[in-house]
């Protein structure tokens, strides 16, 4: 069995107003991942994924593509920790959070 990991990602490009958060939520839930996604005031989308390493890496690859109307110019990622995961709403597998 794969090791469980937490990854924090920031996606840059045309990623707001194109259904990017809904895309991320759908793809993450379909993969059984925990975490959250939100828009950032500076125009990026931020997300945290928690789950088996290979599944999380596959999710990050999906984020690099995004939904049809999006244009991903860059995706920055790093190892996450419990503090990164904290905004996740209790009782939800994957949370869509307000803009920060």
Query: Looking at residue 54, what is its pLDDT?
Result: 96
Selecting among 2, 21, 38, 89, the annotated active-site residue is 21
2 is annotated as an active-site residue = no
Domains plus CATH for the chain? Answer: 4-89 (3.30.70.100)
β-pairing verdict for 34-39 and 71-79 = unpaired
Query: Looking at residue 94, what is its pLDDT?
Result: 96
**Residue entry with tokens 């999006």:** 70
- Residue-wise pLDDT for 76-88, tens only, equals 999 999 999 888 8
Q: In order along the chain (100 residues), what is the average pLDDT of each group of 10 residues? A: 90 96 98 97 98 97 96 98 90 94
Structure-token pair, residue 83 = 């503090």
Closest CA to 43 of 100, 96, 85, 94: 100
39 is annotated as an active-site residue = yes
DSSP secondary structure letters along 66-85: -STT-EEEEEEEEE--HHHH
**Reported pTM:** 0.95
CA dihedral 8→13→18→22, nearest 10 degrees, is -10
Query: Looking at residue 88, what is its pLDDT?
Result: 86
Query: Looking at residue 75, what is its pLDDT?
Result: 98
Query: Looking at residue 2, what is its pLDDT?
Result: 72
Query: Looking at residue 90, what is its pLDDT?
Result: 87
Selecting among 2, 39, 78, 89, the annotated active-site residue is 39
């Amino acid at each position: 069995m794969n090791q469980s990991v937490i990854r924090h990602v920031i996606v840059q490009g045309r990623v707001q107003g194109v259904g990017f958060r809904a895309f991320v939520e759908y793809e993450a839930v379909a993969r059984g991942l925990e975490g959250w996604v939100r828009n950032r005031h500076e125009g990026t989308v931020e997300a945290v994924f928690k789950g088996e390493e290979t599944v999380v890496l596959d999710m990050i690859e999906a984020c690099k593509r995004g939904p049809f109307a999006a244009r991903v110019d860059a995706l920055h990622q790093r190892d996450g920790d419990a503090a990164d995961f904290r905004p996740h709403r209790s009782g939800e597998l994957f949370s869509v959070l307000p803009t920060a």
